[in-house]
């Protein structure tokens, strides 16, 4: 049974538009290849961080809501953890 999840993602603020778009496409593709279905993407753009993370005071915020099997978040976490352009991420169960 598929469950809804929300991925909160903060990318480096100094990425060029081309690299940023490429990175988002890679992340969407990674979610799709894992068998998940993306329902909504909400891009907030650059925002000031509450505290400095990896020497950045700003980040590019994105939120992705997707439906997937319960094993998919763990797979995504392992892949996002090694992505050098991701400052922070969090995957939570999304309530309707």
Q: What is the pLDDT of residue 96?
A: 62
Q: Strand, coil or helix: what is 24?
A: helix
The whole-angstrom separation of Cα 62 and Cα 92 is 14
The predicted model scores a pTM of 0.88
- pLDDT tens per residue across all 96 residues of the chain: 789 999 999 999 999 999 999 999 999 999 988 889 999 999 998 999 999 998 999 999 999 999 999 889 999 999 999 999 999 999 999 776
Domains (range + CATH), the chain: 3-93 (3.30.70.60)
The whole-angstrom separation of Cα 70 and Cα 51 is 32
Q: Are 35 and 74 in contact (CB under 8 A)?
A: no
């Amino acid at each position: 049974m598929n469950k809804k999840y929300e991925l909160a993602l903060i990318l480096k603020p100094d990425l060029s538009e081309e690299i940023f778009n490429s990175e988002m496409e890679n992340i969407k593709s990674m979610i799709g290849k894992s068998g998940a279905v993306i329902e909504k993407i909400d891009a907030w753009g650059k925002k000031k961080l509450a505290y400095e993370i990896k020497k950045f005071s700003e980040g590019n915020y994105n939120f992705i809501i997707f439906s997937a099997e319960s094993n998919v978040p763990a797979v995504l976490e392992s892949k996002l953890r090694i992505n050098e352009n991701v400052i922070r991420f969090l995957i939570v169960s999304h309530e309707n």
